[in-house]
């Protein structure tokens, strides 16, 4: 029997990024936007990105497991209210940032949203073929890698110096 989503469920709170995922229009974009202040704040400390890798990996693992649990419980696949994957995808793109300022963060935001929407392979593979909760999460991480690679290429070509 299909269960009803409960806003009291902390797993729903976590994966929806404190219920941002229930925003009626473009929840994925809203989830990404809500992530930006955190990344900007973290960027002000200029901590090397590799210090974030263990936390990132742990969050990826935990969110994959919880996504799988909720998909089974609610008989859903990749519901739009799960936006924690956008946080991880945007964080992946942010690992490539060369200058910690709003213009570069905005560029990464637009690049990430583009790649998250178009889902270039292998993101499309994880999105459509991997039915485990990890597929929901990993397709956004792949999109974040694409966004970061395009960003760093433009930056290194001197086309993106702000």
User: What are the tens digits of pLDDT across the range 125-146?
Assistant: 777 887 888 888 989 999 999 9
pLDDT of residue 40: 92
Position 161 in a domain: no
Report which of residues 126 and 33 the model is more confident about: 33
Q: How confident is the model at residue 116 (pLDDT cuts 50, 70, 90)?
A: very high
Domain count, the chain: 1
Spatial contact of 154 and 160, defined as CB atoms under 8 Å apart = yes
Question: pLDDT class for 1, splitting at 50, 70, 90?
Answer: very low
Q: Treating both helix axes as pointing N-terminal to C-terminal, what angle do 84-94 and 53-74 enclose, rounded to 10 degrees? A: 160
pTM: 0.90
- Distance linking the first and last C-alpha atoms of the chain: 54
- Alpha helix positions (H), the chain: 10-15, 27-44, 53-74, 84-94, 102-118, 123-128, 133-156
Overall average pLDDT of the 20-30 stretch: 90
The verdict on residue 4 lying in a domain is no
Q: Is residue 53 part of a domain?
A: yes
Q: Going by C-beta distance under 8 Å and a sequence separation of 6 or more, which residues neighbour residue 5?
A: 12, 74, 81
In terms of C-beta distances under 8 Å and separation of at least 24 residues, what long-range contacts does 21-28 make, across chains too? 21/80, 21/81, 21/82, 21/83, 22/81, 27/80, 27/81, 27/83, 28/80, 28/83, 28/86, 28/113, 28/116
Kindly state whether residue 3 falls inside one of the protein's structural domains: no
Domain that holds residue 27: 10-156
Residue 53's pLDDT is what? 92
- The verdict on residue 1 lying in a domain is no
Q: What is the pLDDT of residue 161?
A: 67
Find all residues with CB under 8 Å of 10, minimum gap 6, and list them: none
In a domain, 36, yes or no: yes
pLDDT, tens only, 53-68: 999 999 999 999 999 9
Tokens 């009626």 belong to: 24
Q: Residue 91 in contact with residue 35, Cβ under 8 Å?
A: yes
């Amino acid at each position: 029997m299909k269960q009803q989503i409960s806003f009291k469920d902390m797993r729903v709170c976590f994966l929806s990024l404190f219920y941002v995922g229930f925003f009626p229009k473009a929840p994925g974009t809203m989830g990404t936007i809500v992530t930006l202040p955190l990344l900007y704040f973290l960027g002000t400390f200029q901590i090397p990105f590799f210090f974030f890798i263990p936390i990132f990996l742990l969050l990826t693992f935990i969110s994959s497991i919880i996504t799988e649990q909720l998909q089974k419980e609610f008989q859903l696949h990749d519901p739009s209210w799960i936006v924690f994957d956008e946080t991880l995808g945007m964080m992946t793109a942010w690992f490539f940032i060369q200058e910690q300022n709003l213009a570069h963060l905005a560029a990464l935001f637009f690049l990430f949203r583009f790649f998250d929407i178009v889902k270039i392979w292998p993101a499309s593979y994880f999105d459509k073929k991997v039915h485990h909760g990890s597929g929901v999460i990993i397709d956004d991480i792949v999109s974040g890698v694409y966004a970061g690679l395009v960003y760093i290429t433009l930056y290194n070509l001197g086309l993106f110096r702000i």
